A and B are shown apart, each in its own frame.
Chain A
Amino acid sequence: MSNHEITEDIRVEILAVKERYKKRLLEERLSLTTLAKALNTSNLDQSAEQIHTILHSIAGSAGTFGFNEITREARRVDEAVNQSKCQLAKFDPNELVALIRKEIIGFCQTLSETESRSVGSGSQSNADGQHVRKKSVSEHPLKNEVWLIEENEQLATQFSKQLITFNFNIRNVTLNEANQLAKKDGWPIATIIDLDSKLFNDATDFKALFAETEKLPQGVIMLSDNDAFEQRIKAAKARAASFLKKPIDLTELINHLEVVFGEESSEVPRVMLVDDDDELRSLTKLELEAEGMNVHVLRDMTNILWELNEFRPELLLLDMEMPDYSGIDIALLIRQSAQFESLPIVYLSAERDLAKQTEALLFNADDFLVKPISSDRLISSIRSRIMRARKIEKLISKDGLTGLFKHAAIKEQAKRELKRAIRRNEPLSLIMLDIDFFKRVNDTYGHATGDNVIASLATLLRHRLRQTDIVGRYGGEEFLIALPSTSEQTAFDVMEKIRVAFSEIQFSSGTETFNCTLSAGCVCSNDISTNDASELIEEADRALYVSKRSGRNRQTLASSL
C-alpha cells in the first residue's frame, strides 16, 4: 500500500470514530437538558459542577472530531456558568438559575442543530461531509465495543483481525482487566470468553469469576473445546447468551454477535410532529427527544409531502384541531400517496367525544391520543406503534436470510433515491454485485454453508456501508446497493474495501476452510442521463457482467464501458 492509501485508510477510520462521537454529543445534550430542567437554587452548586464537567469534556473533545464551533461554544458557556456561579453573592439565586438555564438551553440548541444538519439534508454525512461507514446506533456507553477474554495469543490475534473486518471494535483483555473496567463503566454489549484457559478450567462456578463487578457481563459468547453438559450448564448459570464449540466458525460467531447487538441497539425512532400550538409542540419535542427520539417539527403545512419524503418519519403525530385544516384533511392528503400508506398516523387532540374520535379514526389514522396526556403514556404509545410498524415493514420488505431489502423493495428504493438525486442535483451511485462461483460452494459444501456465505456478505455490507446507503438482495447471490450523494469514484473506493474484506473472510465447513470472492459493477447517475432507475440498474448489471467475463474478483465502472 502506498503512503497515500494508508493515509486515506486512516482518514476513513477517523471519520468512523467521528460519527460515533456524534452519538456521544447526543447523549451529552440529553444529560445537559435534564440538568438544566432540574436546576434550582438548592441544587445549584452540585448541578453547576456536573454541567461544568460535561462542558469541559465537550470543549476538550469536539474540535478533535471536527466540531470546532461546539468547542468554542462549550468553552464560552462553561466560562459564563462559572462566572455567574462566582458571583452568587451579588445575584439573586433565582435569576442565576434562570441565567444558567438559558445558557445551557442555548448550547443544547447549538448541539441539536449540529445533529440535525445531517438529518435535514437527508444523508448522513459527518462534519466534513465525507463518506462514513455505518456504525451501531446503540446508545450504550461502550457502543460497538466487544471484549475478548482470550489467553491464547494466536487465537486472540486471529479473532481480532477477522472481527475488525466486520467493524466490531475488539478489545483484548484479561479477566482481571475486564473486571476492573466493568467495575468502572459497566460491561460492553458483547463479551467473548474462551473457557479453555486454566482460570476457567479450574473454576467450578463461572459466575464467581465476575463477583468483583456488581453485574454479570451481558451478551456473553463463550467458546470451548469441551461442550459437555457440565460445561454448558456452567456457562448458562453465568448467563452466557451463546456457547460455541471450537473450532469456531466465524460466520456463526458473527451471527451470534449480531443477535446480541440487534437486541441491544435499535435505530433512533423518527417522529414528525404537526401541531399549531408552539409551546405544546416544543414541550412534546423535548419530551420525545429526552427519550432519545429524533423529532422533526413541520412548520409549514404546505411542505408536508416534501418533508415526509426528506425526513422519512416512522410515525406522524398530528394535531386534530388546527386553524386552516383539520387533522382528518391532512391524514387524507397523506394517504393519497401510496408510498405513505403504511406510515402510522396518530392524532393528538383535546376531543373527548368518543363518537368524534371514532369518526377521525375512520379516516385512515392509527390511534387517537387525548390531550393532556402524560409523558409516559405518550412515549409508550409512540414507541410501541413504531416498533410494531418496523416489525411489519420488515416482514413485508426484508429478506429472511440476510435482513436486507427484497428484490421489489430495493428496486422501489432505488427509484426513490434516483428521484431525490435528480431533484437535488446530486449524484446517486448504484452497485450490483454477485458472489463468484457460488454454485460451486453450494455443490461442494451444501446449501447450509452457502447460506452462511450469503449471510456473511450481507453482514459485511451492513457494517461497511453508511446508514443512508440502501442494500438489497437482488437475486440468489446477487446484491444491489444504492449510495445517495455519492460519486462513482467514492462508490468504487468503498466497494473496493468491501471486495477485499470479503475475499479475506475464511469460511469453514466441517474441517475444511475456504474463501470466496465477489464481482461488482458500479454506475453513477451523473454519467447516464435517465430518470428511470431500471436503466441505471441495467447499466450496473452490464458492468458486473464485464467484471465476470474478465476474470471475476474485481469491479467495473459503467463509465469505462
Chain B
Amino acid sequence: MAELKRVLLVDDEPDIQAIARLSLEKVGGFTLLICSSGDEAIEKIVDFQPDLVLLDVMMPTMDGPSTLKKLQDKGLLGGIPVIFFTAKVLNSEIEELKSIGASDVVAKPFDPMVLPTQLNDIWSRVNEQP
C-alpha cells in the first residue's frame, strides 16, 4: 500500500494553519498545502494532487460540506479521501458528514503531536477497504 504523503488542508483560521503546518510537516513529514477557503482548494487541488484532503467544516462563505459537494460535482476528487475537521463531535453529525461522502471525521481540538498518526490510521483503513 502506498504511503500517505501529500495532504491538502482547507481551514480559514491562521492559528490552526500555523499549528497544523508544524504538526503535519514537521511531526508527520507530509507534503502539505494549506488553502484558506473552499474556493482556493477547488482551484489548487488538481495541481497539488493530494493523497488526502482534510477539510474544516465551519468556514465563512463556503463551508466544508459545500466545498465537498463542489469538489464532487466538478469531478475533482477522483477517489481522494476527504476527512472532515470539526469542533462538533456529535455522533449524528459524524454520520451526516459520512453520508455526504466523507471518509472519516477528525475532532477539533486536535493534538499536534498525534494528528499525523490519526491521519495515517485513517489512510490505512480507507485503503484496506475493498
Given that A17-B22, A60-B58 are known contacts, is A181 also in contact with B15, CB under 8 Å in the complex?
no
Does B26 count as interface, using CB distance less than 8 angstroms? yes
B126 on interface, CB distance cutoff 8 Å: no
Cα–Cα distance between A75 and B113 once the two chains are bound (Å): 23
0/1 interface trace, chain B 94-114, chain A, CB 8 Å (1 if under): 000000000000001111110
Interface pick from A63-71, A418-426, A486-494: A63-71
A303 to B110, CA, bound (A): 42
Q: Is A14 an interface residue (CB 8 A)?
A: yes
* Cα–Cα, bound, A532→B110 (Å): 47
Verify if B16 is at the interface (C-beta below 8 Å from A): yes
Q: Are the CB atoms of B109 and A60 closer together than 8 Å? A: yes
A145 to chain B: which residues have CB within 8 Å?
Answer: 14
Q: Is A71 a contact of B14 with CB atoms below 8 Å?
A: no
B109–A17 CB distance below 8 A: no
Asked if A65 and B19 make an inter-chain contact with CB atoms under 8 angstroms apart, the answer reads yes
* Residues of A in contact, count (CB < 8 Å): 33
Q: How far is the CB of B106 from chain A (nearest CB, A)?
A: 11
Which residues does chain B contribute within 8 Å of A38, judged by CB atoms? Answer: none
Cβ-based interface call for A234 (8 A): no
Chain B positions within 8 Å of A29 at CB level: none
Inter-chain CA distance A17–B111, complex, in Å, is 13
Q: A10-B22, A10-B26, A181-B36 are in contact. Are A60 and B87 (CB under 8 A)?
A: yes
Q: Return chain B residues, CB-CB under 8 Å to A10.
A: 22, 26-27, 113
Report if A184 contacts B (CB, 8 A): yes
Q: Point out the residues of chain A lying under 8 angstroms from B23, CB to CB.
A: 14
**Separation in Å of the B103 CB from the closest CB of chain A?**
20
- In A45-62, the 8 Å CB interface with B consists of 53, 56-57, 59-62
Q: Assess whether B86 is interfacial by the CB under 8 Å rule.
A: yes
Contact with B along A5-19 (1 / 0, CB 8 A): 011011001100110
Q: Given A56-B58, A184-B36, is A14 in contact with B15 using a C-beta cutoff of 8 Å?
A: no
Q: Do A21 and B15 touch across chains, with their CB atoms under 8 A apart? A: yes
Does B13 sit at the interface, judged by CB under 8 A?
yes
Decide yes or no whether B18 CB sits under 8 A from chain A.
Answer: yes
A64 touches B26 (CB 8 A): no
Report the minimum CB–CB distance from A98 to chain B (whole Å): 27
Residues in A with CB closer than 8 Å to B109 are 59-65, 68, 71
A20 within 8 A of B: yes
Q: Taking A56-B87, A60-B108, A184-B36 as contacts, is the C-beta distance between A20 and B22 under 8 angstroms?
A: no
Cα A7 to Cα B111 in complex, Å, equals: 14
Residues in B whose Cβ lies below 8 Å from that of A59: 87, 108-109
Which residue of the partner chain, among A64, A71, A75, contacts B16 with CB atoms under 8 Å?
A64
Query: Which chain B residue lies CB-closest to A63?
Result: B109
B87 touches A14 (CB 8 A): no
Question: Bound state CA distance, A7 and B112, in angstroms?
Answer: 12
Beta-carbon contact of A13 and B86 below 8 Å: no
For the complex formed, measure the closest distance between the CB of B69 and the CB atoms of chain A, giving whole angstroms.
21
Chain B contacts of A53 at CB under 8 A?
Answer: 58
CB-defined contacts of A57 to chain B, threshold 8 Å? 13, 58, 87
Are A64 and B110 interface neighbours, CB within 8 A?
Answer: yes
- What's the least CB distance linking A245 to chain B, in Å? 33
Given contacts A57-B58, A141-B14, A142-B14, 4 further A-B contacts (CB under 8 A): A13-B26, A17-B15, A57-B87, A65-B109
A-B contact pairs, 29 of them (CB 8 A): A6-B26, A10-B26, A13-B22, A13-B26, A14-B23, A17-B15, A17-B18, A20-B15, A56-B58, A56-B87, A57-B13, A59-B108, A59-B109, A60-B16, A60-B58, A60-B87, A60-B109, A61-B13, A61-B87, A61-B109, A64-B108, A64-B109, A64-B111, A64-B112, A65-B19, A169-B18, A180-B40, A184-B36, A185-B14
Instruction: List 4 A-B pairs, minimum CB-CB distance, nearest first.
Output: A63-B109, A60-B87, A60-B108, A64-B109
